[in-house]
Amino acid sequence: MFRHIILTAILFAIILSACDCGDSATGDTGYKPDAKINIDSGFEDISGDAITDTNTAPCPRGQELMCGICKPIRCQTDSDCNPGQICSRRACVDSYLECSGGDCVIDGMECDTNGQYCHYKKCGKNNECPEGMFCMNTFCMKRLPCNGKCGEKEVCLAETDKCIPAPDVAACKITCKAGEILMFSDPPEDSTFSSCKEIKCECKVLPDLPVGDLGYYSRLTMTGNNELIASAYNKTYGDLVLVKFLFDNNGNGPLGEYDPKNVQFIDGVPKNGQLAGNPEGIRKGIKDSGPDIGKYTSIGLDSSGRIMISYYDVSTTSLKFAYFDGAVWTTHTVDGNGENVGLYTSIAVSSTGLPYIAYFQKNGAPGENRLTSKLKLAVPASNQVPAKAEDWKIIDIDTAKVSCRGLCSSTDACIIESNQTLCRTLSSDQKACKEGAGCSSDEKCVLDDAQAPVCRKDAGTVAYVLEEGVGLFPSVRIHTDGKVYIAYYDRAPVDAEKFKGNLKLATIEGDTVSIEILDGEDSDGNDTGDVGRFASLDFAPDGRMGIAYYDASLNQLKYIERFANETPKIEVVYTGVTPGLKEFAGPDCSLAFDKDNFAHIAFQDATNHRLLFASRQDGNPPWSPGNIVTLLSPTDDGLKNRFGEGGYGFFISQIIKDKVTYISSMKLGFKQGEEGTVSTARFLIIRKDF
């Protein structure tokens, strides 16, 4: 009994001696919640000059045993403490990140209940973590631990997401391979350094990289095995990807997404990038950005299931083609020699398995063709799927001049003169005009034909929302008669500040190309509105042609139908008018026919960011409000709970089999993260039975 009383008294005195009570006026003790002061009370004998741990060698008086190392009880500097700890008010405490107003800087960390330090939560019993997080080293994280890499002789402390000096023990003096990171083995429930248990380290394979923000510029198709796949652009990395969709409830639910493991990165990943994730996982663990590749995708399949994708290489402003022969992917450039080509691609695969690619040339190469836009068609030069640029034949379908905006040299300015744009040489002295007074803010001082300085209106101040030129939004299809048809939008400039807005159709038979205006001009050439954006062409089983498109003048969704060379019949699908609100209805529209020759159009209400669906029926009118349904809406509480706030109906693509339609699109939202405003995109697919 007496010995026990002495032991307790001495221990209490030691604890008091280790405590710096801080400023008595503020009551600040200098400790963080749950900070561990490593005073070991597990000794049996207090005689002599040492405090003895039952499992380790004794330490001199005035020191304590911390994980096998004798350290001063009252620290002076951080070096007196264990790795991962700091000296605070002469006590060793765990080095956590402090909370800022209850929030943590690192996404995925939580502020403790006292609102003072940030930490990751422990994983569930079966390594479960909330959506968007992964379990590593027993903690749920949203990003790679310690950014995926620590320095030499450092170890990653998972809970605090910090690289710290590795303990001076053999079990932590190991070198990890690329794609691995040194971490503590079996971290305890509280702090790694809160007890004197044996410390071990091990190399842990980095988790998969985040799949990234994808779904942009996507197109959907279905394989012969009824698998739904889509080509898309991954905005996070700037890559072309292929996505395989899965539905809820083992394929039975109406709404689905994709498994990140079913995303293939086809083009854009650098070959020699630094590993920052699982080498066997997403993007092969390479986080570094490569060339920006994969916008304006379009996908097609041949009868054997071989996949063909056309897309735009932003880095080189060229058209590219990706081909999967059933075993490997190959990619090559189709067109691009100084021109800006390959925007708005559309691919069709012939009955013989050959790809035909329609695309837009924004401008030509330097020289006299610099101000030239085109609708172009790339066709195989032989009866084989092309493997290189020389295997393609490039056909100019339609051509139009564009303004000089953004296309003049650095010594020139694009100005407006006689209601047209042209490049004029900038005066070396911008005050030379108007007798030294200089030009107004919307003008440039340039040299006229006589090399005299004059003020001219700067063409760059004229606002426009789309690329200029002819051939935007092409939609190519091959009819059973063997002819190639392309519906497209003509936005060539009429003068310096006005543009055309016509829906056009090109018919290609052999080397013969014929072009007609379907909507936007009357027979006398008078403008009837800005129409033709988001053109989507398809053929019904009975051979009829249908084209869905957006009327930007009236904010309406329209549809054209005709057989063979009959006069096209224009129909209004959706007026975009509801009581008290005028909607922008029709962007990103996608048309498809069912087996009974009825047309169905998926489209966006761009005012309310809804995904809508319209079906054509026999009767008058063929498109009635009762046949237009809302599939996805930001006001749906179920969708809010599942996906958060955001809008729906971006980058729509539709495919129909029998009497079921499948529609892919993006949900897009934004939130504040540790790196500022980030998107919360979701690439979704929904099925609807007729």
Residue 247: inside a domain: yes
Asked if residue 672 has pLDDT above 70, the reply is: no
Of 382-396, 457-471, 645-659, 670-684, the range with the lowest mean pLDDT is 670-684
Average of per-residue pLDDT across 1-14 = 33
Average of per-residue pLDDT across 431-450 = 93
The verdict on 70 and 106 lying in the same domain is no
Q: What is the overall mean pLDDT for the chain?
A: 84
Of 79-83, 452-456, 499-503, 557-561, the range with the lowest mean pLDDT is 79-83
CB neighbour list of residue 361: distance below 8 Å, 6 or more residues apart: 339, 340, 341, 343, 372, 373, 374, 375, 376, 469, 471
Pairwise pLDDT comparison (376 vs 91), residue with the higher score: 376
How many percent of the chain have pLDDT more than 70?
A: 84
3-state secondary structure of 12: helix
Distance of CA 197 to the CA centre of its chain: 45
Pairwise pLDDT comparison (377 vs 117), residue with the higher score: 377
Residue 166: inside a domain: yes
Alpha helices (H) in 531-690, listed in sequence order: 637-643
The residue type at 598: F
Residue 279: inside a domain: yes
Contact present, 162 and 182 (Cβ < 8 Å): no
Domain end call among 207, 228, 248: 207
Residue 237: inside a domain: yes
- Determine the pLDDT at residue 259: 86
Pairwise pLDDT comparison (299 vs 178), residue with the higher score: 299
Of 102-106, 187-191, 244-248, 341-345, the range with the lowest mean pLDDT is 187-191
The verdict on 161 and 78 lying in the same domain is no
3-state secondary structure of 78: helix
pLDDT band of residue 84 (cuts 50, 70, 90) is low
Distance CA 452, CA 448 (A): 5
Of 3-12, 213-222, 255-264, 447-456, the range with the lowest mean pLDDT is 3-12
Extended beta strands in 303-462, E state: 307-313, 318-324, 329-335, 340-349, 355-363, 372-380, 392-401, 412-417, 420-425, 443-447, 453-458
Average of per-residue pLDDT across 659-686 = 84
The verdict on 101 and 203 lying in the same domain is yes
Asked if residue 7 has pLDDT above 80, the reply is: no
Closest by alpha carbon to 610, among 587, 579, 577?
Answer: 587
The token duo for 9 is 């008294």
Provide the domain count of the chain. 4
Contact present, 613 and 629 (Cβ < 8 Å): yes
pLDDT band of residue 144 (cuts 50, 70, 90) is confident
The verdict on 15 and 115 lying in the same domain is no
Specify the pairing of strand 214-222 against strand 307-313: unpaired
Domain that holds residue 33: 2-94
Closest by alpha carbon to 433, among 423, 444, 441?
Answer: 444
How many percent of the chain have pLDDT more than 90?
A: 55
Residue 627: inside a domain: no
DSSP state string for 327-370: S-EEEEEEE-SSSEEEEEEEEEE-TTS-EEEEEEEEE-SSSTTT
Distance CA 464, CA 468 (A): 9
Which residues, listed in sequence order, are joined to residue 357 by a DSSP beta bridge? 347, 378
Q: Residue 473: how many CA atoms within 13 Å on its side-chain side?
A: 29
Closest by alpha carbon to 294, among 240, 340, 256, 227?
Answer: 240
Distance CA 102, CA 311 (A): 45
The verdict on 184 and 222 lying in the same domain is no
The residue type at 305: G
The verdict on 90 and 126 lying in the same domain is no
Contact present, 93 and 36 (Cβ < 8 Å): yes
The verdict on 130 and 118 lying in the same domain is yes
Distance CA 457, CA 99 (A): 54
- Determine the pLDDT at residue 5: 32
- Determine the pLDDT at residue 30: 33
| Sheet containing 512-519: order of strands | 469-478, 484-491, 502-509, 512-519
Distance CA 239, CA 232 (A): 9
Average of per-residue pLDDT across 467-486 = 96
Of 252-256, 502-506, 566-570, 587-591, the range with the lowest mean pLDDT is 252-256
CB neighbour list of residue 178: distance below 8 Å, 6 or more residues apart: 275, 279
Q: Give the Cβ contact number of residue 217 at 10 Å.
A: 22
Average of per-residue pLDDT across 179-207 = 73
Distance CA 6, CA 677 (A): 61
Closest by alpha carbon to 260, among 132, 136, 109?
Answer: 132
- Determine the pLDDT at residue 26: 32
CB burial string 81-108: b at 16+ within 10 A, e below: bbbbbbbbbbbbbbbbbebeeeebebbb
pLDDT band of residue 130 (cuts 50, 70, 90) is confident
Residue 119: inside a domain: yes
Distance CA 642, CA 655 (A): 25
Residue 434: inside a domain: yes
The verdict on 121 and 154 lying in the same domain is yes
Contact present, 341 and 394 (Cβ < 8 Å): no
Average of per-residue pLDDT across 125-152 = 84
Closest by alpha carbon to 68, among 43, 45, 38, 44?
Answer: 38
Asked if residue 45 has pLDDT above 70, the reply is: no
Q: Which residue has the tokens 């992964």?
A: 134
DSSP state string for 108-156: T-EE-TTSSEEEPPBP-TTS---TT-EEETTEEESS-GGGG---TTEEE
Closest by alpha carbon to 400, among 323, 474, 470?
Answer: 470
pLDDT digits (tens, 9 = 90+) for 25-34: 333 333 333 3
The verdict on 196 and 107 lying in the same domain is yes
pLDDT digits (tens, 9 = 90+) for 11-23: 233 333 333 333 3
Domain end call among 175, 190, 207: 207
The verdict on 114 and 203 lying in the same domain is yes
Specify the pairing of strand 420-425 against strand 443-447: unpaired
CB neighbour list of residue 333: distance below 8 Å, 6 or more residues apart: 313, 316, 318, 319, 320, 321, 389
- Determine the pLDDT at residue 19: 32
Distance CA 529, CA 524 (A): 14
- Determine the pLDDT at residue 185: 82
How open is the CA angle 630-631-637, to the nearest 5 degrees? 95
Q: Which residue has the tokens 């009252």?
A: 74
Q: Exposed, middle or buried: residue 483 (CB in 10 Å: 0-12, 13-18, 19+)?
A: middle
CB neighbour list of residue 442: distance below 8 Å, 6 or more residues apart: 457, 458, 461
Average of per-residue pLDDT across 354-370 = 93
The verdict on 195 and 240 lying in the same domain is no
pLDDT digits (tens, 9 = 90+) for 267-303: 999 988 888 889 999 999 998 889 999 999 999 999 9
Asked if residue 330 has pLDDT above 80, the reply is: yes
Peptide bond into 210 cis (omega under 30): no
Residue 486: inside a domain: no
The verdict on 131 and 148 lying in the same domain is yes
- Determine the pLDDT at residue 67: 55
Domain end call among 94, 122, 155: 94
Distance CA 110, CA 160 (A): 11
Distance of CA 384 to the CA centre of its chain: 34
Asked if residue 420 has pLDDT above 60, the reply is: yes
Helix (H) or strand (E) holding 77, with range, is none
The residue type at 258: Y
